[in-house]
Amino acid sequence: MGLMRNKRFVPPGLGQGAGQGQELSRPVKNPFVHDLRFTPLQKAKIFIMTLTLFPIRLFFAAFMMLLAWPFAFVAAVGRTEKELEMPMSCWRKFLDIALKVIMRTMWFAGGFHWVTVKGRQALPAEAPILTLAPHSSYFDAIPVTMTMASIVIKAESKDIPVWGTLINYIRPVFVSRSDQDSRKKTVEEIRRRAHSNGMWPQVMIFPEGTCTNRSCLITFKPGAFIPGVPVQPVVIRYPNKMDTITWTWQGPGAMKILWLSLCQFHNYMEIEFLPIYTPSEEEKQNPDLYAHNVRRVMAKALGMSVTDYSFEDCQLALADGQLRIPSDSSLLEFARRVRSLGLKPEKLGKELDKFSESARKRKGEKIKLDEFAEYLLVPVTDKLEDLFALFDEENKGTIDLREYVIALSVVCRPSKTLETIQLAFKMYESEGSKTIVEEELAIILKTALGASELNVTDLFSAIDGEDKGKITYDDFERFAKMNPNFAADYLYPDRADSETCLDSLSAPNGFCTDFTPEDTEASHNYPAQKKLN
C-alpha cells in the first residue's frame, strides 16, 4: 500500500540526452543551493579588502551607473516602444557606444577587469534570439550591457529609479504579473521581433528561468524557442577559486554576494558564443524538443550534466514541513508524471477538497485505469499508465484513489504537512467515531512520504496513549504539536540524522527527474528573487 517506490530507480530525463540513447550523467549537487565557506586566510583577505578596496569600488560602480542615466534618458526621448529608428542616427550611435563604455567601466570598477569573449556574436538577422546559460547571478547582466541586447524582464523594473531608465534603453520585453494574458503577449512580442529580419535588436533570454549554482543545467523553459527561429547559444563561465558570484535560492543573499565579490581582487568571467543553432521542422513544431536539444549542446560545451528539474519541482526538497521527504521518495517522480499529463499542481491544489470528497465517497473501492482517466479528465495514454502504475503496487490493474489525493496534496503544498494529514484522515476515518487504525495511518504516511516501507507502530502507540487501537486527527495534531520532530524520532529511529530529499540532491547519486517547467512564480514559502527573464 502507499505510493510505490522502485528500488533506487533512475527517473527518466536524467543526464544529457536522456531518452536519446546518450550516456547518463548525474549533477554533482543540488543546483539550487550554494554553500559558501572560507578558510581563515580567505577570511583575513576579505576583512582587509572590506576596509580598503571595497568602499572605493562601491563608490565608483555607483557613480558610473549614475553617469549612465542621463545618456540612457536622452537616448529614449521621443522613442516609441513598438517602432525602431532605422537606420540609427549618428547621435544615437554615439549614445549607444558611450553607454557601453560607461557600463563596462562600472563592471571594471567591480573587479571584472577583463572579460574573456570567445566565438562571434551572430547578427540579428542570423539569430534573432540569444540563449544564455547557466544563469547563476545578477552579474550575468554583463553580457547584456556589453551587447545592449533586449531582455525579458518584469514590468515593475521600469519604475526603479536610475536602473529602470537603463533597462528601458535596451528595449526590453516586459512581463506584467498583474496581467493574466502577460505570458501570451510576451511570446507574441518575442515572435514579432524574431521575425523582423534583423530590424530589432537581438533578444537575450536565460531559458532556465531562475538562478542555479552552475553544477548542471536545469530544464529550459520554451519561451525562447516558440518562435521557431535560429538561436545562438551563449555559455557563461566564472572560473574563480572562490565562488562569490553565485546567487541562488539557498545561500548568501544579494547584498552579501555584492560585498564578497567586490572584495575579490579580480573576478574572472568567460562568455562564449556558440555556433548558431537552426531548428529542424520537428523542433519548430515542438518548442520543448527544441529547448531540450539546445540545452544538450550548451551542456556539452560547458562540460556539465543536465537535470530536468525546474525550481517548482525542487519545492518538495526545500519544503520545511514536519514530514521531511526522505531521499528515496517517489514523490518527485509522481510530480513529474502529473506534469507530463499537462496537469499543473499549482492549479490542482485549489480543488483538493473536491478531489478528497470524491475519493472519500468511494470508501476504499479500487478503480481501474479508465475510471482514473475519467476522474482526471484526461485520455488514457502511456503517460497516464505510468502515473497509474505508481499506485498499482500489486499489479492488479486497480488503485485506491485516496492515495493519489494524498500524494497530490503533498506536491501542491509541500510545507503544509498537517493540512495533508487532516485531508487524509477525512478520507480514511470511520463515519461515526472519526477514527483510523494503525494500518490506515501507515498507508497515509507512506503515501505522504513516497516510501514503500515504513514502520508506524511506535508512532501509533505513542499517539494512542489510552491503547484504544484507534486515533482521531485531533489526537494526531495534538501529538505532532507536542513532538515537532516526531518523524525523525518515530519513523526513522535507526537514523541519527534522517537523510532527506534535499540531502540526496546534494549527493552524486541524487535524483534528476524530467519535469515540464511551469510559467509560475515560486511559492510564497521561498525567498523572492529578481530574475533577468
| DSSP alpha helix (H) spans, 450-517 | 457-463, 473-482, 486, 501-505
The pLDDT value given to residue 394:
79
The CA distance from 52 to 42, in Å, is 15
Helix axes 417-428, 473-482, angle to 10 degrees: 160
The pLDDT value given to residue 492:
66
Average pLDDT of the chain, as a whole number:
81
pLDDT tens for residues 4-31? 544 333 333 333 333 333 333 444 456 8
The residue length of the chain stands at 533
DSSP classification of residue 199: -
Q: Which three cell numbers stand for residue 322?
A: 514536519
| Whole-number CA gyration radius for the chain | 26
Q: Which amino acid type is present at position 268?
A: Y
In terms of pLDDT, which residue wins out, 119 or 91?
119
pTM above the 0.75 mark?
A: no
Lowest mean pLDDT among 18-27, 52-61, 157-166, 486-495: 18-27
Say whether pLDDT at 2 is over 80: no
pLDDT tens for residues 150-164? 998 888 787 888 888
Give the 3-state secondary structure of 361-396. HCCCCCECHHHHHHHHCCCCCHHHHHHHHHHCCCCC
Kindly provide the b/e burial profile for residues 387-410, where b requires at least 16 CB atoms within 10 angstroms of the residue's own CB. Answer: bbbbbbeeeeebbbbbbbbbbbbb
End-to-end CA distance of the chain: 43
pLDDT tens for residues 200-251? 989 999 999 888 899 999 889 888 999 999 999 999 999 999 999 999 877 8
Residue 470 φ/ψ, nearest 5 degrees: -155, 155
Q: Return the closest-CA partner of residue 209 out of 220, 199, 194.
A: 220
pLDDT tens for residues 397-438? 999 999 999 988 888 887 788 888 899 999 998 888 889 999
The CA distance from 380 to 342, in Å, is 13
Q: Which three cell numbers stand for residue 26?
A: 548525474
